[in-house]
Amino acid sequence: MGQIKKSSADRIAAARAKGVPILEESGATDEPILRKVEKGTKKNYDMMMDFWDAYEITEPGSKPYNLKTSKHFMETYIAGSEGLSVWTVYQKWSDFLAGWQRRPGERQIPSVVSRSIYNFILGPMQVKYNLSMERREKVYLTVAHFNILMEHRWQKDWYQPKHLGTLVNDHALDLSSIYTSARLSEFLEMRYEDLEFGILRNKKGQATLGVIPTRNAKGFVKNPSRRPKHGLYEDMEPLFANPLLPFFAIAIANNAFRHYDSLESIFDIPAPRRGTVKILKFKKSFKNVPFFQRMSRDGPTGEPEKATSYHRRKVALGHRAGYIVNITTHAGRREVIVKVAEDGYEETASMKFSGHSDPDVRREAYASSLLVDGQSSYWNKERDGDIMDSFRGMSLQWHPSMIHSLPAKVQDDLRHRPDFVERHEEIKSLGERLKGLTAEAEVKEAKKRQQELRWKQRQAMSEELSKWRDIQQGDRDTDLEDTDLEDNVASRPAFFNRIRHLNPLRDKLASSLFKNERLRSPAGIEVLRDMIALYKEDVQVAYRPSSCPKNGCCPVCSKGMDQIKCGEEWDHIFRCRAKTLKQKYGFAELCFQCDAWVTSKAKWRTHCQTHLDDIATLPFLFNPLRFRKTLAAAGQCPFCIFNSALDPETRFKQFPYAQPWKEHINKHFTCLEQSCRGPDESKTFQCPDTRCGLSFDSVRGLRYHCHDSQGIDLIKFTPLKSRTRGKKRAIEANRGPKSEESDICFVNETVETLSSRDRFIPKDEVGGKSRRRRPRKHPTPISKAGSGVKMPLSPTVHGKRGRKKKRILYTASPAGSSSRSASSQSRITLSSTELEGYEFRQDCNDETTSLSSCSASIHHDASPDLKLGDGAGSESESEYELVESANHESYWVSRKRKRVTTPAQGVATRPELVIYV
């Protein structure tokens, strides 16, 4: 039907009929209407307006229209805040200007005021309050780093989302952000009507799938028809880089196509005529359905995924993969925009691609000077794009063996730290109080305080973790390629490998996704199917192939799985099977590693022996591990496994349940503790795993080590008040009598930089100059027991995964000279008499810091040749820490590391200098 033409008078009459009165009665005002702002932006405006209101109470009647008030207002803001940079304050002032303008009845702040305040911030305020001028370094997610992230997500990650479909969504979002330059939230609200799938004809004349998602780009909200669209297509290898894989998987999994309900039917569509596209229509009911849906435990919820959740997951993935800086969506966007510029697209095209409406913004924010290879231009040589990429990639530093949790000793120290204990006690007493409270306001208040305290605890932990990461990354300049770099705290990085056999889909994808295959090749289709299954998967319980239910029933006693208590499904089948096999054969043992039942004693003995002979089949982590309510790995005992005096079946004993395993392991530790009560204090405790080769001079040291690297997680870390001797430690199991002092040191550096033995001779000995120290009457021999952790002295030691590690150990000889040999915890130990005369000051406030129990102030010339790197602090600033050995006979001293800022790279860490005097 066409539109009926109306006369102007008719139109007015129609409006009146619809209820629009004459002007006088209409209530229209002269208030200007401002552009609608987004939620986050509004929040920022509100925050500054809130601050103004509070300020106005102290300065009644003041208005920011004059410079005097505005200056005072902003100075109050700056002085009242901490850690501000000039650029943050700039932003705050802009927010205030915008917020003020939006206040009913107020007019715009004159531009002479608003402009002056910017200069006021950058000038006098910057100087007066020493505002930082640093801008966060721009991060470019180059191809190399993107690959690392993908490998981590699909091959190593220990993160378990509520539903694995989240992985498919995130994969699609990650790819679309790097292929289309989308900002964080621009695809998240996409509905099915915002994207189109089609079949195209490629150069070779083959049919190829394509998708055109439309971005809800910033600045185009008002102009939906001009929103940037991007063509993504199927011809892309390897499979993990194929954008159609996740996009298509999501659409198929939701059964969204109107005329096609299977992969085959779509892949069978022949290539259309050259230049034309066969569009695949969605079902009408899908028009308003969000494409990326938030996942609950039961699958897609129908709600769009939240930008904050996706952002958080993305940043966390980067951290887990070994990056300290946050890798955000913008890092990929920045890189692709640079690459597009490099490919020489004309300006309008690349503006449209990046979704910019202002060319200056684009140039300013995304141009990278690292695009230009001046060297090659000068010599008329071809530009080396790879090198330029690597330079940009330097904005991201990858630490493949970054620790993800604190070493046991550090955690143990933390729980004794007074602030920690205090917060813990307060949380506990608040919990008690909450039980008795009924008034809503009081409950709210107490809960808020509890949350705040918990946050502080976590914050303190993460601060400690970053401190440890710094230490760990001290000399990580070698073998970055070596993926087998061992992790100090092994349980998380090892998780995926321990459970993958119970998660067949992810197990398969970990390798198949990285194949160089077309999407419609048999391998590609298999991956696509696995992706779809992952998206639809509804698995709460995993089963071992040896004990799967049959038609929803126990394969042995036919009891329905739904009649079995949730969480005991696998357990039931396992017990049922064991019982019947035992009745039939008199013996039944399941090898959890091979997932095979062995039904005779002799065969079991041979089976165990086979494992024991092949050291590669023995676990590195020994704790029992459950995944989706099924035992993924049985607990074993490293003390028994490596004890060749025992029977094979005793050595290879498996513990399906945690409690017996804990008791068994604890018995070993207790035995060790009792064994050192005797007169022989110099006893050392070998790591039971013979592949490891470390030994410790206390059982506690061994416990920490086993906790960190063998998954023997028996130490509990609840904050404890005092560390008094003899007092029984409540929670943790039998710590033994020798557990008072910190006697192991977690510093992982080598002291290769300090090669000369003279460096370890105090100056007064070298130069004959006497200082506060008394001359030694006779050299004190250093007993082996003097060192904290004893190491085998061979020049190279095989790491626990067979990798050669460089280890250097300095052992002080009687004359105070040093020899050098192997150890990762390098140290010089001197007897207490050798340290006599130095001022050692016990730092009461610092009693439980992670590195040591004491802090020592030693003059720097205790190690005269120690060279400080460029930019390091002055000598007097050097701090040392003194650690006393368990038997109180010797000490070692370590220099605290320093952070220095180099102008080129922002904050960098200077290679560590740790010296043990």
List residues near Zn ion by CB under 5 A. Answer: 554, 556-557, 559, 576, 591, 593-594, 637, 639-640, 687, 689, 692, 694
**Based on CB atoms, which residue is closest to Zn ion, 492 or 559?**
559
Residue type present at position 888: H
In whole angstroms, how close is the CB of 591 to Zn ion at the nearest point?
A: 3
In whole angstroms, how close is the CB of 701 to Zn ion at the nearest point?
A: 11
Q: For 514-518, which contacts have Cβ atoms below 8 Å and span 24 or more sequence positions?
A: 514/151, 514/154, 514/155, 514/238, 514/239, 514/240, 515/238, 515/239, 516/237, 516/238, 516/239, 517/237, 517/238, 517/239, 518/234, 518/235, 518/237
Chain position carrying tokens 């001197």: 830
Cα dihedral sign, 668-669-670-672:
positive
In whole angstroms, how close is the CB of 50 to Zn ion at the nearest point?
A: 56
In whole angstroms, how close is the CB of 908 to Zn ion at the nearest point?
A: 32
**Based on CB atoms, which residue is closest to Zn ion, 186 or 743?**
743
The answer to whether 868 and 879 have CB atoms below 8 angstroms apart is no
Nearest CA-CA partner of 825 in 912, 917, 883, 747: 747
In whole angstroms, how close is the CB of 792 to Zn ion at the nearest point?
A: 12
In whole angstroms, how close is the CB of 801 to Zn ion at the nearest point?
A: 11
Q: Phi then psi for 643, rounded to 5 degrees?
A: -100, 95
In whole angstroms, how close is the CB of 399 to Zn ion at the nearest point?
A: 22
In whole angstroms, how close is the CB of 769 to Zn ion at the nearest point?
A: 44
**Based on CB atoms, which residue is closest to Zn ion, 499 or 835?**
499
Classified as helix, coil or strand, 139 is coil
**Based on CB atoms, which residue is closest to Zn ion, 801 or 899?**
801
Task: State the alpha helices, DSSP H only, in 102-236.
Answer: 111-120, 126-129, 143-151, 165-180
In whole angstroms, how close is the CB of 806 to Zn ion at the nearest point?
A: 18
Cα dihedral sign, 746-751-756-758:
negative
Residue 904 is classified by DSSP as T
Cis amide linkage into residue 903, ω under 30° from 0: no
Task: State the alpha helices, DSSP H only, in 394-490.
Answer: 408-414, 418-436, 440-472
Classified as helix, coil or strand, 571 is helix
- Joined tokens for residue 427: 């949380």
- Sheet with 195-201, strands from edge to edge, namely 232-233, 207-213, 195-201, 278-280
- Joined tokens for residue 763: 């100056």
**Based on CB atoms, which residue is closest to Zn ion, 592 or 840?**
592
Largest CA distance in the chain: 118
**Based on CB atoms, which residue is closest to Zn ion, 299 or 788?**
788
**Based on CB atoms, which residue is closest to Zn ion, 112 or 566?**
566
- Joined tokens for residue 37: 């702002």
Task: State the alpha helices, DSSP H only, in 230-328.
Answer: 244-253, 263-267, 307-321
Please state, in angstroms and rounded to a whole number, the distance separating the CA atoms of residues 347 and 358. 11
In whole angstroms, how close is the CB of 402 to Zn ion at the nearest point?
A: 20
**Based on CB atoms, which residue is closest to Zn ion, 579 or 769?**
579
Q: In sequence order, what E strands does 350-420 have?
A: none
**Based on CB atoms, which residue is closest to Zn ion, 319 or 667?**
667
In whole angstroms, how close is the CB of 650 to Zn ion at the nearest point?
A: 8
Please state, in angstroms and rounded to a whole number, the distance separating the CA atoms of residues 822 and 858. 27
805 bridge partner residues: 797
Please state, in angstroms and rounded to a whole number, the distance separating the CA atoms of residues 108 and 194. 38
**Based on CB atoms, which residue is closest to Zn ion, 307 or 578?**
578
**Based on CB atoms, which residue is closest to Zn ion, 164 or 797?**
797
Within 10 A of 432 (CB to CB), how many other CB atoms are there?
8
Please state, in angstroms and rounded to a whole number, the distance separating the CA atoms of residues 590 and 586. 14
Nearest CA-CA partner of 411 in 715, 110, 634, 796: 715
Nearest CA-CA partner of 542 in 168, 166, 160, 157: 160
On the 0-12 / 13-18 / 19+ scale of CB atoms within 10 A, 773 is middle
The answer to whether 78 and 122 have CB atoms below 8 angstroms apart is no
Please state, in angstroms and rounded to a whole number, the distance separating the CA atoms of residues 235 and 181. 19
In whole angstroms, how close is the CB of 837 to Zn ion at the nearest point?
A: 38
**Based on CB atoms, which residue is closest to Zn ion, 42 or 691?**
691
**Based on CB atoms, which residue is closest to Zn ion, 189 or 486?**
486
Please state, in angstroms and rounded to a whole number, the distance separating the CA atoms of residues 335 and 144. 12
Q: How far apart are the first and last CA of the chain?
A: 95
In whole angstroms, how close is the CB of 859 to Zn ion at the nearest point?
A: 37
In whole angstroms, how close is the CB of 810 to Zn ion at the nearest point?
A: 22
Nearest CA-CA partner of 467 in 194, 851, 745: 851
Classified as helix, coil or strand, 384 is coil
In whole angstroms, how close is the CB of 882 to Zn ion at the nearest point?
A: 27
**Based on CB atoms, which residue is closest to Zn ion, 533 or 637?**
637
**Based on CB atoms, which residue is closest to Zn ion, 495 or 696?**
696
**Based on CB atoms, which residue is closest to Zn ion, 71 or 703?**
703
Please state, in angstroms and rounded to a whole number, the distance separating the CA atoms of residues 362 and 381. 29
In whole angstroms, how close is the CB of 357 to Zn ion at the nearest point?
A: 60
